[in-house]
Amino acid sequence: MRLGIVGMLPGDFRTFGRSHFEAIRALGFTGAGFHLPGDLASDITKEDIERCRMLFIDYEIELVQMGIGYAECLFHPDTEVRDHAVDKIVRTVPIGAELNAHYVLIRPGSMNPEGSWTPHRENLTTDAWSRFLDTLGQITPGLAEHDVTIVMETHLVSILKNPEACRQMVEMVGSTHLRLVLDYVNHFETLKQVFENRARLDHIFEEMGPCAPVMHVKDITLGKGLVLHIEEAAAGTGELDLEYCFQAWQNLYPEGYGLIEHLPPDLIPQAAENTRAIASAAGIPIH
């Protein structure tokens, strides 16, 4: 297993400095990721790309995941909205290729105007699914030309509402250049699943694992509100049996990256230490 970080590099890679990479190396990470706003793609020059690429090379850090930022929904009923998203993705993919990114990350979006990871009943219709597949069919044909693999981020509030839907998307699109992110925390729906999490992890890995070559490392805590709150947390601070989880990942991708994400800077060192300790207890080397 290899360990990387998302959250220590700003979105616009033209602002990267050596101090960013020195901080990443100081914590022992060998990989990193960032989210480039899709609107910036047309402003990026070859010189910008070469400078960024050399920073990763100089510090021997892999660019594991380059996300593309956009607000549009990939299954919106307005074709112009979908076309805007497709244009941003298609323009940004070659940048990821030139930066030697392992994966370019995208998200499905939501019909809820409050944000990509907010629920809406129209996310779950058959018409939305058809539009979603049509949009992906416009994105995937050009990926082989650039030798880029896109990974789709998923969540239970999205159109990719469960592991079965995630696997179905990959199978129906039928492109070897479209895969998933194994963000296992995003597919816990009930208290029973959290408390008996080995069984849920087994199901997530069985359905999604073979087509999810990068993992997001995190844990689950339960909120104290009067309704169910399943919240993500730093590894080693919650309910999940992460030794079991990491063993499942190691069995699938012994050289695959787990990426720590969604943490404020002051919590990243402890999350990295916890992750290494859990992996060590499971007999898994991290490099």
287 domain residue, yes or no: no
51 domain residue, yes or no: yes
249 domain residue, yes or no: yes
Q: Percentage of residues in the chain with pLDDT exceeding 90? A: 98
205 domain residue, yes or no: yes
The per-residue pLDDT for 97 is: 97
108 domain residue, yes or no: yes
Q: Could you give phi then psi for residue 184, rounded to 5 degrees? A: -60, -35
Which three-class secondary structure string do you get for 73-141?
CCCCCCHHHHHHHHHHHHHHHHHHHHCCCCEEEECCCCCCCCCCCCCCHHHHCHHHHHHHHHHHHHHHH
222 domain residue, yes or no: yes
**Taking 90 as the threshold, does the pLDDT of residue 133 lie above it?**
yes
Q: Both ends of the chain: CA-CA distance in Å? A: 7
Token pair listed for 142? 């050009």
Q: Which residue in the block uniquely carries the two structure tokens 């060998």?
A: 30
Place 65 in a pLDDT band, splitting at 50, 70 and 90. very high
What does the alpha-carbon distance between residue 76 and residue 83 come to, in Å, rounded to a whole number?
A: 10
Q: Can you give the residue range of the structural domain that contains 83?
A: 2-281
38 domain residue, yes or no: yes
Model pTM greater than 0.75? yes
**Taking 90 as the threshold, does the pLDDT of residue 226 lie above it?**
no
**Taking 90 as the threshold, does the pLDDT of residue 251 lie above it?**
yes
Token pair listed for 234? 């730093």
Counting Cα atoms < 13 Å in the Cβ hemisphere of 71 gives 5
286 domain residue, yes or no: no
Average pLDDT over residues 65-73: 97
What CATH number has the domain bearing residue 136?
Answer: 3.20.20.150
Q: Could you give phi then psi for residue 147, rounded to 5 degrees? A: 55, 50
Reported as a single tens digit per residue, the pLDDT across 148-203 is 999 999 999 999 999 999 999 999 999 999 999 999 999 999 999 999 999 999 99
Provide the domain count of the chain: 1
Average pLDDT over residues 277-281: 98
Reported as a single tens digit per residue, the pLDDT across 11-28 is 999 999 999 999 999 999
**Residue 31: beta bridge partners?**
4, 62
Task: Give DSSP secondary structure letters for 261-272.
Answer: -S--GGGHHHHH
